[in-house]
Amino acid sequence: MRFVDVLAGAAAISGAVASPTKTVKRASKFDFTGVSESGAEFGNTALPGRLGKDYTWPDHNAISTLIQKGFNTFRIPIMMERIIPNKLTGTVNETYAAGLDDIVTFVTGQGAYAIVDPHNFGRYYNNIITDVAGFGAWWTTVAKRYASNQKVIFDTNNEFHDEDNALVGQLNQAAIDAIRGAGATSQYIFVEGNSWTGAWHWTSSGTSEAMGKLTDPQDKIIYEMHQYLDSDGSGTSAACVSATIGQERIADATAWLKANNKKGVIGETAGGANAQCIQALQGMLSYMADNSDVWKGWLWWGAGPWWADYMYSIEPPSGTAFTKVLPSLTDYI
């Protein structure tokens, strides 16, 4: 989702302890179905920020509820500058890292996947990352922390945009190499492309060329693309272009995945709580299920305790999408 400054009102973090919830059998053909659990990336202009004022962590009980609905994958957006402040080659801020550790441990302890997602749009302190070696060093430090947890997935960076396509490819390869070099050899790596990693312009933007050349000695790369259904594909409107726009927008990416023997995941998608958007979402997910040889799953944007009345919120128990959209998507979980 495109946003420059993620704002959050003051909110309290739930102190309740969630009872253990194991992942349940799901109905769909997908390996990964889930949500982005926002909070730790909020207040991204307030660095390092204050817990409980500028940012928060996802709620255990809400995650448990979503697991009970059948979701098995939880993407945890974080800020690169908060976990390793000042420089890419720096040391870990253990206070912030402890919050990430808590959520990762909770999610994976339920048998679900936890995606570590540096939600930085290819930037560090608002500057485009051009230090490829430094980016690799950042990933070495973070990956070492979770190298022994097979249920962790590493997401190279959220929505690179307005960058050189070759640079984006180099940064992704540096992340892959660093993660594997850190001893994290069993986990999946979700790689993201340029141009907001949009599925609908994956090839037309040119990002597919460099991204298609990525290599992984473990052969566990998943191409993460994002696809919203509003007029400009930005995920900022509750209106969807048409009832068929979802399938239409991912058709070209599907062909690319098949032609290049790659696997993909829609790492962010959403639509408004209205009949046209629900039909468009169902059409897209049905098309993905029909092409599950290349599409391995999808994640909703988003959940998290501070979304309040946000139009796409799937946060239990009262988020707009949780109550009005999710019931129509159960066949695809």
Q: What is the pLDDT of residues 93-128, one digit of tens each?
A: 999 999 999 999 999 999 999 999 999 999 999 999
Residue 177 tokens, joined:
């190499």
Which pLDDT band, with edges at 50, 70 and 90, does 5 fall under?
Answer: very low
Question: Could you say which of 192, 224, 268, 315 is catalytic?
Answer: 268
Provide the pLDDT for residue 216. 98
pLDDT surpassing 60 at residue 242:
yes
Residue type, 103: I
pLDDT-based confidence at 21, cuts 50/70/90? low
**309's tokens:** 């009345």
Q: Long-range contact list for 305-308, CB < 8 A, 24+ apart? A: 305/11, 305/13, 305/14, 305/39, 305/56, 305/58, 305/59, 305/62, 306/8, 306/9, 306/11, 306/38, 306/39, 306/42, 306/56, 307/38, 308/9
Of the two residues 7 and 286, the one the predictor is more confident about is: 286
Q: What are phi and psi of 290, to 5 degrees?
A: -70, -20
| Best CA proximity match to 115, nearest among 67, 152, 161 | 152
Instruction: Compute the half-sphere exposure of residue 296: CA atoms within 13 Å on the CB side of its CA.
Output: 20
| Contact between 275 and 325 (Cβ < 8 Å) | no
pTM: 0.93
Rounded Cα distance, 3 and 234, in Å: 9
Q: What is the pLDDT of residue 122?
A: 98
Candidates 41, 81, 159, 163; catalytic one: 159
Model confidence over 200-214: pLDDT tens digits?
Answer: 999 999 999 999 999
Q: How confident is the model at residue 174 (pLDDT cuts 50, 70, 90)?
A: very high
According to the model, what pLDDT value does residue 7 have?
Answer: 43
Work out the end-to-end distance of the chain between its first and last CA atoms, rounded to an integer number of angstroms: 21
Burial class (CB in 10 A: 0-12, 13-18, 19+), 175: buried
pLDDT at 28: 82
In the predicted structure, residue 14 carries a pLDDT above the cut 90? no
Give tens-digit pLDDT for 254-282. Answer: 999 999 999 999 999 999 999 999 999 99
Please indicate whether residue 163 is annotated as part of the active site: no
Output the average pLDDT for the chain: 94
Please report the pLDDT score of residue 167 as a whole number. 98
Q: Is 209 a catalytic residue?
A: no
Residue 13: its pLDDT value, please?
32
pLDDT for res 23: 59
- 124-161 per-position pLDDT tens digit: 999 999 999 999 999 999 999 999 999 999 999 999 99
Q: What would the pLDDT profile of 41-79 be if each residue is shown by its tens digit?
A: 999 999 999 999 999 999 999 999 999 999 999 999 999
Burial letters for 257-269: b for 16+ Cβ neighbours within 10 Å, e otherwise? Answer: beeeebbbbbbbb
Phi, psi of 82 (to 5 degrees): -85, -35
